[in-house]
Copies of this chain bind each other. A is one copy, B any other.
């Protein structure tokens, strides 16, 4: 499948990335079932690797999920991360900042929620909202946004140099697919509670968001934490791609079963 990883410094056009892509899997029932079977295996592997991450407690993994409304951030967490031991996995949902949070720099509340060693941390939305909504609605000047890009890079370098691997995913859906998903929420009485008028409002700024995402991803892809564009029109392919990236990231840590405490002589140990 095509590699949608953004190299540091590279410009990027989302219009050149197909949100409908399903790699080598056919866009039919067979392709979907095949993809789901592979994802299942990856998730089992993920569970196993997470146990080792937790046992070692020397490294951490941070997964950042961004994307338009209805792009599937919640669904990704549900389908890829259910099965992981919740003791080693913390999901953080960033809401509108509180008055106290606004009294600090924009990374203050984010830093507090960075995953501890041994943990997988998942940011459902993140500090990137502070350079997206703010830009689209003209709440901050270009100069401040640019400054924030640099602050974000320095912040992520700090985490990375301290042992955290960072995976940043942009869930890429088409405007038509968003329409389908919003209509499903409207037409299915069981899903209406999820519907928010704000989603319709933000949809009007689709083009501006695309531009803001492109600029942001080009500016904040660093060697240790590049952005990945995930084709997300097909939920099953989105889950596969993300599970695959997570498994590879954990495998690359090359963690083993931790060694026994060196000062204990296990051969002479007696339990009364």
List residues of A whose CB falls within 8 A of some B CB.
47, 55, 74, 77-78, 81-87, 89-91, 93, 122, 124, 179, 182-183, 186, 189-190, 192-193, 195-197, 200, 203-204, 257-261, 264, 266, 269, 271-272
- Prevailing SS type, chain A contact patch: mixed
Chain B nearest CB: distance from A100 CB in Å?
A: 14
B195 touches A87 (CB 8 A): no
A258 touches B86 (CB 8 A): no
Instruction: Evaluate whether A264 and B77 lie within 8 angstroms (CB atoms) in the complex, with A82-B86, A269-B186 already known.
Output: no
Instruction: Evaluate whether A78 and B87 lie within 8 angstroms (CB atoms) in the complex, with A193-B55, A259-B193 already known.
Output: yes
Residue of B at shortest CB range from A93? B87
B86, B124, B190, B269: the one within 8 Å of A91 (CB):
B86
Chain B nearest CB: distance from A76 CB in Å?
A: 10
Instruction: Evaluate whether A257 and B84 lie within 8 angstroms (CB atoms) in the complex, with A90-B90, A272-B203 already known.
Output: no
B189 touches A260 (CB 8 A): yes
Please, how many angstroms separate the alpha-carbon atoms of A189 and B256 in the complex?
A: 13
